[in-house]
A and B are shown apart, each in its own frame.
Chain A
Amino acid sequence: MITDFKQRYEHAVADPDLRPRLLAFQRSWRESRDAQVSRLEQRTERSFDELRRDFASVKDATLERIDDYIAEFRANAEATGAVVIELSTAEDAVEYIAGVCKARGIDLVVKSKSMVSEEIELNDELAERGITAIETDLGEWLLQLAEQRPSHLVMPAIHQKRQYVAEILGEELGREFDPDDIPAMVASARQGLRRHYLAAGAGLTGANALVAETGSIMVVTNEGNMRLATSLPDVHFVTAGIEKLIPTWSDAERQLQLLPRSATAQTLSTYTTCITGAQPGKEMHIILLDNGRREMREDSAIGAALRCIRCGACANVCPPYQIVGGHTFGHIYTGAIGLVNTSFHHDIEDAAGPQGLCVSCGACETVCPVAIPLPRQILSIRRKATESGHAPRWERWLLRAWSMPQVFRAVMKLGSVASSVARALGLVRRDHIRLPLPRRLSWRSIPAIPAQTGSRLIAKRTPQPTLAPSPAAGSTVDLFAQCLADRLMPVTVDASALLIEAGGASVNVPSDQQCCGLPAFDAGDWETARRMARATIAVLSRTDHQIVTPATSCVISMRDHWPQLFRDEPETLARADAIADRVHDLAAWLDGPGRLPDGCLEREGASSWTAHRFCQSSNRGEPGARIALLVERLTGETAAPLEEPEVCCGFGGLTSIAAPEVGEGILDRKLDCVAASGCETLLTNNPGCALHLRAGAVARGAAHDTLHYADYLAARLPDDS
């Protein structure tokens, strides 16, 4: 039974063991997987990126001519005695399997792990038809005994703790188990399942690959149950999606280079089994399931998701997955890929709930062994969910209000007045208002809104004299302050202007700036996003100056989101592109056109600092993400090492509002790493992250200060010049 999303979410965040268990899993997987991948790169003398793009192109080419490959596969498999049947829907597949069982008088099926069988909810459906299916993979069997579903593609029972396993095994086998004796529990599966293999009339497996040139299936396992399930019963069912087809054995080997390393961080799993045709005296039925796959293929934004080889790597690096687990972050398919394919194999309702949990950090795409652009695909599904009315109503209203400059300004003005009152009452400490918040939000504090905006601070002061002329010296630069930074971090906006001026350029702050549209785009509300983007395009089209912003996320929005938003509006698109060409992240500017010389901001009495890079840009390898290098270059100071620098801080746009426990959990992970670095100052490069990290650090009473790197650098400009 899959309960509704809200229930699953609440259940997950109430489980005190889930987060630490998944955190330990993610960290150890990352270490072993990275070691495996670097050995592979050394051995093949090719980069992971080259290897994965190679195999991805094999998958793409196969999918493009899928019917030809199915025909080739069918001809070869049937020549060796297998039955190959193509079916469109989950119901068709269930009926087919049940039909064969009925005709043969089979009432017990032993199953090896198959995600397609989960997709079609085969066990429940067979049970309704009087046929018992027994899972024989240890993890799947434990789930079946507990009436649960997999919470991970390859580690299905990762959410269960050993005490619970001891309990359910004890119930099934009628004896007591010591929860600390895992080998004894594992050994019991050998005996507990043996009788089922003997009694079963059919064995069912999935397939990691369907090899067209010989009509073979390839299955990768570790336990040995798949070999038993295909050796003892007389009938062998294979359930596989059509996307599992590959042309040749040489392609199968390429898949194997990537699959076990990405799945369980093994060089090769224990058993790689290749079966061609029915074995002597036995039957083999290979079910090729569509169930939404051709529809995925036709969707230009989604088609690449069919490359998926079900390794689960996308979940293993996903920060929200670590907080809520796969029962919440996904439906039947879990992790990032589950957020994409669920709406095709199931319903948009099933896919809608978890959409808001994704923080768009982009980590999944960096480890995907077939280079699926998962972050972009999730946004496309999220848009579908939003447009079909599945987004929360508060979100829609919030974004509408944000898109209206008068409303936004009025709210901020009100906030700054309230903040002044709070300040007068002595309620403000470390720039945050000390008011008790409800428990769900108590992990953060409310930033006091300063009286003046960043643009105003710049207008009121005299320009910073040139410290060292940069290539851009003498030019005028437009500063895009960013909506949040301008109001909540005015000093940072001013600091950015000072650093640009130090390179000899003068700064113009175009009036009437608002939001680039990113929050609405991320929320799948393209209509509102377009409205915001159009307004920003109008403001920034007034000059042809180079544009600099301290907000790394807005650069991504302008370069990557705008072309998507205005795909069908050539005129706007041309103006958007022109702006995207002129826009620079401040860090990239200070290394590029506005370059300041090495060591020019060296100062006595440096504090120790470390840097958190905005995840979305560092996961794309954008130069602006290299803030630690920039600060080191300009100040001559060295960053303190920070563990997991690429992991998100938990802000994730609206995620930390919609799912505060996710925002809190990821932030805790980050702040623990910051605390472990022992630094006095945490530098970061995106205003949203800076606000989130600062509000959390103040709430937990952390020892370090949180600054945008522009603040840190500008404070090192000479006082007298």
Chain B
Amino acid sequence: MITASDRGTQFAEALHAAQGEIAWFDSWDELWDFADSLSDDVPVVSPAAHQFLQRGDLPDAIEPLRSIADRAVGITVATLGVAETGSLLLVERAPIDRAVSLLTRHLIVAVGEDDLVDELTDGFRWLAEQPRAAAYATFVTGPSRTADIERSLTIGVQGPSRLTAAVLT
């Protein structure tokens, strides 16, 4: 029997292996304080995360790219976290939902501790049952990376160069 805390530990280990970071928060306020302390620039917040935070810059629906590109810190929300792989499932139907997770430098992804599942299988089962969610769903496992130049692993290519899973307890 896997307990919630085992699952959290496993999730943290897998995420670290994928060069991601993890932080634990009791509330959205704490999460905001953490995000806000990372840079002088105000964090940008996806529409999904804004519902909870009611703070930060929203992407501009007309010019999401210009308003968000290369901003220091972004915050979004994951539907699920997968303990086995350290992945976060982002369900982002419209391009504006994706702007923050695509373009910011340091991406913070909030996920409820109760939304951690054991295996990738669980994530796919959820997807299969939610055809609308699968309109545009991404399992994100760590920051963006490449090894295309002489196989040298370089973190942060076209997407975020830092990724923090913010687990809300």
Residues of A that sit less than 8 Å from B by CB: 21, 24-25, 28, 43, 80, 136-139, 142, 155-158, 160-162, 165, 182-183, 185-187, 189-190, 193-194, 197-198, 213-214, 216, 222-225, 227-228, 230-232, 248-250, 252-253, 256-257, 264, 266-277, 279-280
Looking at the assembled complex, report how far the CB atom of B67 sits from the nearest CB atom of chain A, in whole angstroms. Answer: 13
Known A183-B154, A227-B159: A249·B128 in contact at CB below 8 Å:
yes
Known A139-B146, A268-B141: A249·B157 in contact at CB below 8 Å:
no
User: 26 interchain pairs (CB within 8 A)?
Assistant: A138-B148, A156-B148, A157-B148, A162-B149, A186-B156, A186-B157, A193-B158, A222-B157, A224-B159, A227-B102, A227-B138, A228-B102, A230-B136, A231-B98, A231-B99, A232-B95, A249-B127, A250-B121, A250-B124, A250-B125, A257-B120, A267-B14, A267-B141, A270-B140, A274-B136, A280-B93
Known: A190-B157, A223-B157, A279-B136. 10 other contacts (CB 8 A): A139-B146, A165-B149, A182-B149, A223-B144, A227-B98, A232-B95, A249-B124, A267-B17, A271-B139, A272-B141
A222 contacts B124, C-beta separation under 8 Å: no
With CB as the reference atom, state the residue of chain A lying closest to B154.
Answer: A186
Looking at the assembled complex, report how far the CB atom of B156 sits from the nearest CB atom of chain A, in whole angstroms. Answer: 8
A276 contacts B135, C-beta separation under 8 Å: yes
B158 contacts A155, C-beta separation under 8 Å: no
Cβ-defined partner of A272 (8 Å) among B99, B139, B158: B139
With a CB–CB cut-off of 8 A, which chain B residues contact A227? 98, 101-102, 138, 159
A279–B69 Cα gap in the complex (Å)?
A: 21
A443–B65 Cα gap in the complex (Å)?
A: 59
Known A249-B124, A267-B85: A275·B135 in contact at CB below 8 Å:
yes
With a CB–CB cut-off of 8 A, which chain B residues contact A228? 102, 158
A213–B125 Cα gap in the complex (Å)?
A: 12
B117 touches A (CB below 8 Å): no
A225 contacts B157, C-beta separation under 8 Å: yes
A186 contacts B146, C-beta separation under 8 Å: yes
With CB as the reference atom, state the residue of chain A lying closest to B94.
Answer: A280
A477–B36 Cα gap in the complex (Å)?
A: 84
B93 contacts A189, C-beta separation under 8 Å: no
A138 contacts B157, C-beta separation under 8 Å: yes
With a CB–CB cut-off of 8 A, which chain B residues contact A28? 151
A268 contacts B94, C-beta separation under 8 Å: no
Looking at the assembled complex, report how far the CB atom of A25 sits from the nearest CB atom of chain B, in whole angstroms. Answer: 6
Residues of B that sit less than 8 Å from A by CB: 14, 17-18, 65, 69-70, 84-85, 87, 93-95, 98-99, 101-102, 120-121, 124-125, 127-128, 131, 134-152, 154, 156-160
With a CB–CB cut-off of 8 A, which chain A residues contact B138? 227, 271-274
A227–B137 Cα gap in the complex (Å)?
A: 10
Looking at the assembled complex, report how far the CB atom of A114 sits from the nearest CB atom of chain B, in whole angstroms. Answer: 16
With a CB–CB cut-off of 8 A, which chain B residues contact A25? 151
B85 contacts A268, C-beta separation under 8 Å: yes
With CB as the reference atom, state the residue of chain B lying closest to A139.
Answer: B148
With CB as the reference atom, state the residue of chain A lying closest to B103.
Answer: A228
A137–B159 Cα gap in the complex (Å)?
A: 12
A249 contacts B98, C-beta separation under 8 Å: no
Known A250-B128, A279-B136: A270·B18 in contact at CB below 8 Å:
yes
A165–B150 Cα gap in the complex (Å)?
A: 9
With a CB–CB cut-off of 8 A, which chain B residues contact A43? 84
7 A-B pairs closest in CB distance: A224-B159, A139-B148, A224-B144, A249-B128, A272-B139, A224-B158, A223-B157
With CB as the reference atom, state the residue of chain B lying closest to A230.
Answer: B136
With a CB–CB cut-off of 8 A, which chain A residues contact B159? 223-224, 227, 270-271
With CB as the reference atom, state the residue of chain B lying closest to A158.
Answer: B151
B102 contacts A231, C-beta separation under 8 Å: yes
With a CB–CB cut-off of 8 A, which chain B residues contact A160? 149-150
With a CB–CB cut-off of 8 A, which chain A residues contact B17? 267
Cβ-defined partner of B94 (8 Å) among A137, A156, A157, A279: A279
With a CB–CB cut-off of 8 A, which chain B residues contact A267? 14, 17-18, 85, 141
Looking at the assembled complex, report how far the CB atom of B104 sits from the nearest CB atom of chain A, in whole angstroms. Answer: 11
With CB as the reference atom, state the residue of chain A lying closest to B101.
Answer: A227
With a CB–CB cut-off of 8 A, which chain B residues contact A273? 136-138
B146 contacts A223, C-beta separation under 8 Å: yes
A214 contacts B148, C-beta separation under 8 Å: no
B151 contacts A155, C-beta separation under 8 Å: yes
Looking at the assembled complex, report how far the CB atom of B78 sits from the nearest CB atom of chain A, in whole angstroms. Answer: 13
Cβ-defined partner of A137 (8 Å) among B69, B70, B85, B148: B148
With CB as the reference atom, state the residue of chain A lying closest to B148.
Answer: A139
B93 contacts A269, C-beta separation under 8 Å: no
With a CB–CB cut-off of 8 A, which chain B residues contact A257? 120
A223 contacts B158, C-beta separation under 8 Å: yes
A182 contacts B158, C-beta separation under 8 Å: no
With a CB–CB cut-off of 8 A, which chain A residues contact B141? 267-272
With a CB–CB cut-off of 8 A, which chain B residues contact A277? 135
With CB as the reference atom, state the residue of chain A lying closest to B128.
Answer: A249
A214 contacts B131, C-beta separation under 8 Å: yes
A274–B92 Cα gap in the complex (Å)?
A: 11
A264–B159 Cα gap in the complex (Å)?
A: 19
Looking at the assembled complex, report how far the CB atom of A187 sits from the nearest CB atom of chain B, in whole angstroms. Answer: 8
With a CB–CB cut-off of 8 A, which chain B residues contact A275? 134-136
Known A249-B124, A252-B124: A185·B140 in contact at CB below 8 Å:
no
With a CB–CB cut-off of 8 A, which chain A residues contact B146? 138-139, 186, 222-223
A271–B139 Cα gap in the complex (Å)?
A: 6
A274–B138 Cα gap in the complex (Å)?
A: 6
With CB as the reference atom, state the residue of chain B lying closest to A280.
Answer: B94
Looking at the assembled complex, report how far the CB atom of A268 sits from the nearest CB atom of chain B, in whole angstroms. Answer: 5
Looking at the assembled complex, report how far the CB atom of B144 sits from the nearest CB atom of chain A, in whole angstroms. Answer: 4
With a CB–CB cut-off of 8 A, which chain B residues contact A230? 136
A138–B160 Cα gap in the complex (Å)?
A: 15
B134 contacts A216, C-beta separation under 8 Å: yes
B125 contacts A249, C-beta separation under 8 Å: yes
With a CB–CB cut-off of 8 A, which chain B residues contact A137? 148
A223 contacts B131, C-beta separation under 8 Å: no
Known A214-B128, A228-B158: A268·B139 in contact at CB below 8 Å:
yes
Max chain B C-beta neighbours (<10 A), residue from A158, A161, A190, A250: A190
With a CB–CB cut-off of 8 A, which chain A residues contact B143? 270
With a CB–CB cut-off of 8 A, which chain B residues contact A250? 121, 124-125, 128
With CB as the reference atom, state the residue of chain B lying closest to A272.
Answer: B139
With a CB–CB cut-off of 8 A, which chain A residues contact B150? 21, 160-162, 165, 182
Max chain A C-beta neighbours (<10 A), residue from B84, B127, B144, B146: B146
A252–B145 Cα gap in the complex (Å)?
A: 23
A194–B151 Cα gap in the complex (Å)?
A: 23
Known A182-B150, A186-B157, A193-B158: A222·B144 in contact at CB below 8 Å:
yes
B145 contacts A223, C-beta separation under 8 Å: yes
A253–B128 Cα gap in the complex (Å)?
A: 11
A270–B69 Cα gap in the complex (Å)?
A: 20
A256–B141 Cα gap in the complex (Å)?
A: 13
A162–B150 Cα gap in the complex (Å)?
A: 6
A43–B148 Cα gap in the complex (Å)?
A: 30
With a CB–CB cut-off of 8 A, which chain B residues contact A214? 128, 131, 134
A645–B5 Cα gap in the complex (Å)?
A: 44
B135 contacts A279, C-beta separation under 8 Å: yes
